Amino acid sequence: MRIEDTDKVRSKQKFVDQICESLIWMGCRWDEDLKFQSKRNELYECKLQALLESGNAYRCFCEKDKLANIRSEREKAGMGYSYPGTCRSLNNNDIKVKLENNTSNVIRIKIPEGETRFLDSIYGDISVNNDELDDFIVARTDGSPTYNFTVVADDNDMNITHVIRGEDHISNTPKQIILYKALGYDIPQFAHLPMILGEDKKRLSKRHGAMGVQEFRDKGFLNSALVNYLALLGWNPGTEQELFSPEELTRKFSIDRVHKKGAVWDNQKLEWINQQTILRMQNDDILVQILNIDSQWGEKQQEETLLSVIELMKPRSKTFVEFIETTDYFFNDPKEYDPKTIRKRWKNFDVNELVNEYIQCLETVEDWAVENVEVELRNLSDRKNISPAKLIHPVRLALSGIGVGPSLFHMMKVLGKDICVRRLKKAVDSLPVEKH
């Protein structure tokens, strides 16, 4: 596990903690202590010196302003810019004098003639004419090494055999291969993954509302569901299967089935996978997940009651946070009633009379079972010669404060007789809101 923190301005401990916490939550572990590039300067200095001594790199004393002017003139002329190689042929005496005078300098790699080729595990054979590359900088004026150099030195030192990264790094790969060869290193196998795209088919970013790993966790997504969805963004097993455990993905994944084309992020698909994953879980495990997010959920309730709520509500919840937010009425009387549902389901005092009659029926029920509370409602509907829905909807509104939810009669069973009767009586006293 390597932390690439050579950019001192952007590198802070809180970011390192965030990276580690996110990877651990996603199920990723590393075997050795973290390696920080900022603490590996001795290795980099040694390898930079080796490049200079072999003649594969050289010191460049060109002033930034002059190079900027050259770049500007070429761009105005519609020409591409590359470093003109001004300092390539400086002799040792010239270099010595400039160093003794403390002349600012960078170290540049000497691009060889010919072409650089590599076989990408996803995109196949890729070749670049070396004339298209300029002698890029491997060490800045303050001596600090650049990204392309440090990753090559680190990959060799850490025995990296495969480099798997986004396709936006393809342009870096020829540069790094040149460095591998210049340093006498074995070249790893490269695989460049297609980018994840927003709905506008452009690279997914924060302007699309893209979230970090911890935000998915905090919103109540399961790590296994997120891994499942991410895997399917650029890969498929060659079958119709969409739901995988991490163990199944480990067995079935192969890089030769990764797509070349970028995939569009679909939050609804992620929510569906998360919901399906929740449905496959044991209720006891769901309870643990919920309490990890909100330790106060269902406080003072018997565990049996909590498990009953979970059994009833898990088919209706896309995330654990949504589950918590939509189950409050199981533990607390509604403080208000949904206005839209009132207008549609509790239009006048005729509903009050109907609900009052149902309350009287319920008060006679001794065995508070699902079928018994349902029979009482349907029998009353038959006597009144009305559709059961005329009573089901206002009763649901009275019990939960909203117009949608799980099976009414199963909900009533979980709430219990005393709570149901109390809430129904309160609604009869409170609704409809506008009394004339």
DSSP string, 154-215: HHHHTT--EEEEEGGGTTHHHHHHHHHHHTTPPPPEEEEEPPEE-TTSSBP-GGGT---HHH
One domain, residues 242 and 213:
yes
In one-letter notation, the amino acid at residue 166 is G
In one-letter notation, the amino acid at residue 321 is V
Query: What was the pLDDT predicted at 45?
Result: 97
Domain end, chosen from 329, 364, 387, is at: 329
One domain, residues 74 and 169:
yes
Whether 395 is covered by a domain: the verdict is yes
Domain hosting 309: range is 283-329
Distance in angstroms (rounded) separating the CA atoms of residues 179 and 26: 33
Whether 8 is covered by a domain: the verdict is no
Query: What was the pLDDT predicted at 73?
Result: 86
Confidence class for position 434, pLDDT limits 50, 70, 90: low
pLDDT tens digits, one per residue of 170-200: 999 999 999 999 999 999 999 999 999 998 9
CATH code, domain carrying 270: 1.10.1160.10
One domain, residues 156 and 58:
yes
One domain, residues 52 and 186:
yes
CA distances from 120 to 174, 256, 364 (A): 11, 11, 75
CATH code, domain carrying 380: 1.10.10.350
| Percent of the chain residues topping a pLDDT of 70 | 99
CATH code, domain carrying 155: 3.40.50.620
Query: What was the pLDDT predicted at 436?
Result: 38
Distance in angstroms (rounded) separating the CA atoms of residues 391 and 368: 19
One domain, residues 287 and 375:
no
pLDDT tens digits, one per residue of 6-48: 877 788 999 999 999 999 999 999 999 999 999 999 999 999 9
DSSP result, 327-342: -GGGTS--SS--HHHH
Distance in angstroms (rounded) separating the CA atoms of residues 368 and 363: 10
One domain, residues 275 and 300:
no
One domain, residues 272 and 287:
no
One domain, residues 128 and 217:
no
Domain end, chosen from 257, 279, 301, is at: 279
Phi, psi of 163 (to 5 degrees): -115, 110
DSSP reduced 3-state for 95: helix
Phi, psi of 4 (to 5 degrees): -90, 90
pLDDT tens digits, one per residue of 252-299: 999 999 999 999 999 999 999 999 999 999 999 999 999 999 999 999
One domain, residues 51 and 188:
yes
Average pLDDT, the chain: 95
pLDDT tens digits, one per residue of 199-216: 899 999 878 888 899 999
pLDDT tens digits, one per residue of 153-171: 999 999 999 999 999 999 9
One domain, residues 180 and 83:
yes
Phi, psi of 89 (to 5 degrees): -100, 10
User: Virtual CA dihedral for 6, 10, 11, 13, nearest 10 degrees?
Assistant: 180
Beta bridge partners of 116: 128
Tally of domains within the chain: 4
Of 129, 246, 147, 255, nearest in space to 192 by CA: 255
One domain, residues 265 and 383:
no
| Paired tokens of 146 | 């650049």
One domain, residues 56 and 157:
yes
